[in-house]
């Protein structure tokens, strides 16, 4: 078996070999090549020690932040490549990382410390595929299995539990029974893992082709109860509505699978109905209502994402979508659509529509989204025709108002908001002289 290796990776491998060292492509890049997927990056393992690697690639820029653990990053125009000395891990004292690592001269030592069999293969043109732990067999059978005893692997690093779920979701594989039982047993220890590490793996699950697979697995093993317990309240929650044929949890997973793979959109899909279990009221006819679940859901989304240490930008985007997802029920005329455009912006308005379309389609069998498709067309028409809907579109700005005698401050914002209301109703009035005339008649200088 011969695998195709990019020239810039061949360069690194050949340089190591020509200087008497062993060198192999290892890990996920080998797995990806075997399933016909182009690797996003390549990892190289070698018996050269970190200082030897640095010296060998001194004509390149290198990054040595992982040098203590044997890793030197070689920077090339095509990307960064981690070159790591064969190693064995010392004792894991905190379920996250080894207390120390020991460098080795044997490739098998290095591969035996990896998480799953499908990630524990190595390749070089000279040796071909090296597969001590039957990773190829598990790839053919669509199985996620730990290298060795799953209790040992998860005890070393509890994050491997979520990684198992992530690979099962991304590859549409099943988790081998003993590995799965160990996931359940050790999931409670995910509380010992930093939020940033959980966030990274969880977001990869959300961006998978069918994220509901991963969310279901995380729910089943008890992981969500540890790092996102708010979701668990939606499981089995009856909406008591003729407009819904699923509980809140199943509806949420349907929406998640039916939105494009965009992170803030997928997060909004996950959180959009998260407050329904806490806002239920039942009318005299036994029908459920969830007043303000959109506003409260936005608050909960902010709380969860803050806990996961995400950026303020991401928190803002997700909460904006959650807070506005219910306006699909509103009969918005042109003025209403312009106000919504002003609030959401020309990019996020269409992200919101994607969320709303998935929300409607997942309400019950036979649901249609004709009104949302028409709304999308109307919004595109407003944008294409350059109809004003925000103060930046006005024929006057703050400098113009100051120039005719108004003082800087709140009055400028008040005037622009007033003029926008007029122009939204009467676009033909959006002329500089006309707007200045309107301003001077309404506001004292």
Residue 359's nearest CA partner among 243, 219, 211 is: 243
Report the pLDDT value the prediction gives residue 101, as an integer from 0 to 100.
Answer: 79
Report the pLDDT value the prediction gives residue 172, as an integer from 0 to 100.
Answer: 97
- Average pLDDT along the chain: 95
Residue 26's nearest CA partner among 14, 8, 11, 41 is: 41
DSSP string, 175-223: EPHHHHHHHHHHGGGGGGS-HHHHHHHHHHHHTSSSHHHHHHHHHHHTH
User: Considering the chain, what percentage of its residues have pLDDT values greater than 90?
Assistant: 93
Work out the angle at residue 146's Cα, subtended by the Cα atoms of residues 142 and 150, and round it to the nearest 5 degrees. Answer: 135
Which residue bears the tokens 């668990």? 232
Q: How many other C-beta atoms can be found within 10 angstroms of the C-beta atom of residue 218?
A: 26
pLDDT exceeds 90 at position 165: yes
Both tokens of 134, joined, read 């039957």
pLDDT exceeds 60 at position 186: yes
Average pLDDT over residues 429-439: 96
pLDDT exceeds 70 at position 76: yes
The helix (H) or strand (E) run that includes residue 75 is: strand 71-76
- In the three-class reduction of DSSP (H, G, I as helix; E, B as strand; rest coil), residue 49 is classed as coil
pLDDT single digits (tens) 194-211? 999 999 999 999 999 999
Both tokens of 280, joined, read 């239920």
Average pLDDT over residues 121-127: 96
Strand-pairing partners, residue 292, are none
**Phi, psi (degrees; rounded to nearest 5) at 50:** -50, -45
Average pLDDT over residues 81-90: 90
Average pLDDT over residues 281-308: 97
Establish how many alpha carbons lie within 13 A of residue 216's alpha carbon, considering only the half-sphere containing its beta carbon: 14
Residue 93 binned pLDDT confidence (cut-offs 50, 70, 90): low
For residue 173, give the DSSP letter: P
Residues 6+ apart with CB under 8 A from 256: 206, 211, 212, 215, 266, 269, 270
Average pLDDT over residues 141-148: 97
Both tokens of 289, joined, read 């209502």
Average pLDDT over residues 111-130: 96
Residue 92 binned pLDDT confidence (cut-offs 50, 70, 90): low
User: Considering the chain, what percentage of its residues have pLDDT values greater than 70?
Assistant: 98
For residue 274, give the DSSP letter: T
Both tokens of 138, joined, read 């598990």
Whole-Å CA distances, 58 to 55, 64, 84, 261, 316 = 5, 12, 16, 40, 44
Which residue bears the tokens 């002329």? 431
Report the pLDDT value the prediction gives residue 263, as an integer from 0 to 100.
Answer: 98
Report the pLDDT value the prediction gives residue 255, as an integer from 0 to 100.
Answer: 98
pLDDT exceeds 60 at position 95: no
Residues 6+ apart with CB under 8 A from 54: 62, 64, 67, 72
User: How far apart, in whole angstroms, are the C-alpha atoms of residue 198 and residue 206?
Assistant: 12
pLDDT single digits (tens) 5-29? 999 999 999 999 999 999 999 999 9
- C-alpha 53: how far from chain center: 34
């Amino acid at each position: 078996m011969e695998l195709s290796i990019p020239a810039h990776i061949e360069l690194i491998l050949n340089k190591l070999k020509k200087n008497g060292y062993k060198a192999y492509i290892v890990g996920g890049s080998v797995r990806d090549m075997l399933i016909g997927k182009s690797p996003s990056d390549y990892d190289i393992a070698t018996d050269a020690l970190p200082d030897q690697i640095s010296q060998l690639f001194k004509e390149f820029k290198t990054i040595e932040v992982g040098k203590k653990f044997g890793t030197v990053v070689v920077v090339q125009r095509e990307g960064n490549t981690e070159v790591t000395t064969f190693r064995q891990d010392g004792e894991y004292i905190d379920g996250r990382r080894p207390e120390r690592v020991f460098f080795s001269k044997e490739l098998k030592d290095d591969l035996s410390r990896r998480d799953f069999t499908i990630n524990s293969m190595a390749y070089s043109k000279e040796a071909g595929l090296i597969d001590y732990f039957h990773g190829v067999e598990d790839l053919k059978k669509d199985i996620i299995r730990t290298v060795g005893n799953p209790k040992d692997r998860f005890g070393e690093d509890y994050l491997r539990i979520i990684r198992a779920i992530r690979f099962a979701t991304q590859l549409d594989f099943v988790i081998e029974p003993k590995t799965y039982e160990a996931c359940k047993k050790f999931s409670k220890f995910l509380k010992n893992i930093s939020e940033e590490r959980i966030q990274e793996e969880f977001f990869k699950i959300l961006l998978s082709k069918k994220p509901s697979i991963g969310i279901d697995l995380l729910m089943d093993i008890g992981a969500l109860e540890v790092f996102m317990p708010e979701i668990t309240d939606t499981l089995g929650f009856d909406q008591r509505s003729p407009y819904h044929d699923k509980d809140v949890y199943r509806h949420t997973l349907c929406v998640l699978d039916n939105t494009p793979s965009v992170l803030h959109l997928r997060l909004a899909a996950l959180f959009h109905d998260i407050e329904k279990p806490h806002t239920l009221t039942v009318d005299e006819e036994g029908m459920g209502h969830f007043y303000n679940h959109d506003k409260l859901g936005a608050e909960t989304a902010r709380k969860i994402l803050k806990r996961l240490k995400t950026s303020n930008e991401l928190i803002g985007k997700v909460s904006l979508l959650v807070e506005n997802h219910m306006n699909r029920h509103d009969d918005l005329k042109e003025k209403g659509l312009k106000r919504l455009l002003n609030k959401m912006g020309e990019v996020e308005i269409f992200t919101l529509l994607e969320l709303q379309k998935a929300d409607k389609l997942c309400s019950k069998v036979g649901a249609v989204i004709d009104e949302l498709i028409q709304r999308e067309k109307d919004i595109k028409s407003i944008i294409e025709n350059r109809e004003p809907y925000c103060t930046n579109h006005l024929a006057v700005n703050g400098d113009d108002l100051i120039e005719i005698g108004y003082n800087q401050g709140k009055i400028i914002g008040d005037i622009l908001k007033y003029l926008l209301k007029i122009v939204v109703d009467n676009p033909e009035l959006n002329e500089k002289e006309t707007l200045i005339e309107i301003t001077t008649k309404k506001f004292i200088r």
